[in-house]
Amino acid sequence: MSPRLDYHATTPAGMKALAGAHGYVSQCGLPVTLIDLVYLRVSQINGCAYCIDLHSRDLLKNGITIDKLVLVPVWHEAETLFTDRERAALRWAETVTRVAETAVPDSEFQAVSAQFSEKEVADLTIAIGLMNLYNRLAISFRTVPAAAR
C-alpha cells in the first residue's frame, strides 16, 4: 500500500483544527485507556489499519494486557475483562459509529447514560466522531501503519 497524499502537509490548518479537538478529548477527564479503547474499537469497525496499529500500541504502552487487547473486537463475549464503564463506552462507540444502520436508539443512550454523566457522554461522543474522521482520512489517503513501514 502506498500513501495517496500527505494530508498533514496539504492542509496544515485543517490538521491543526483536528489536533485542537484531539487535545480537548485528551484532557476532558475521561481515562486515557478508556479513550484509547474507544479509538481502537471505532478503528476496527472502520477497518483503519493505521489507527488500529497506533491505538493498540498506545494501549500496550499504558499497561493493557495482551489478553484484553486481542479481545476488544469481541468485548461482549469477554465481559470479565472489561469494566462496566468500558463495556458501556464500547457499546456506545459501536452504535454511534454505525449511526446509518442503528439510528442510535434510545435504549443505547440510556445504557451509556447509566455509566457516564451528561458531560462524559458528550465527550465520549466527540471522541467517537473524531476517531471516525481520523479513520476516514487515514483510509482515504492510505496512511501506512507503523508496523508496515
CA dist., res. 83 & res. 18, Å (int) = 29
Overall pTM surpassing 0.75 (yes/no): yes
The answer, yes or no, to whether residue 147 has pLDDT greater than 90, is: no
Burial call 11-44: b when 16+ CB within 10 Å, e when fewer: eeeeeeebeeebeebeeeebeeebbbbbbbbbbb
Mean pLDDT of the chain: 96
Contacts of 111 (CB under 8 A, 6+ apart): 88, 91, 92
Torsion angle in degrees (nearest 10) through CA of 67, 70, 75, 81: 10
Q: For the segment 128-140, what is each residue's pLDDT rounded down to a tens digit?
A: 999 999 999 999 9
CA dist., res. 116 & res. 89, Å (int) = 9
pLDDT at 48: 97
pLDDT at 33: 97
Using pLDDT thresholds of 50, 70 and 90, give the confidence band for residue 148: confident
pLDDT at 146: 81
4 contacts 141 by C-beta, under 8 angstroms: yes
What is the mean predicted confidence (pLDDT) over 1-12?
A: 89
Residue ranges of domains in the chain, CATH in brackets: 7-141 (1.20.1290.10)
pLDDT at 149: 72
Q: For the segment 50-100, what is each residue's pLDDT rounded down to a tens digit?
A: 999 999 999 999 999 999 999 999 999 997 999 999 999 999 999 999 999
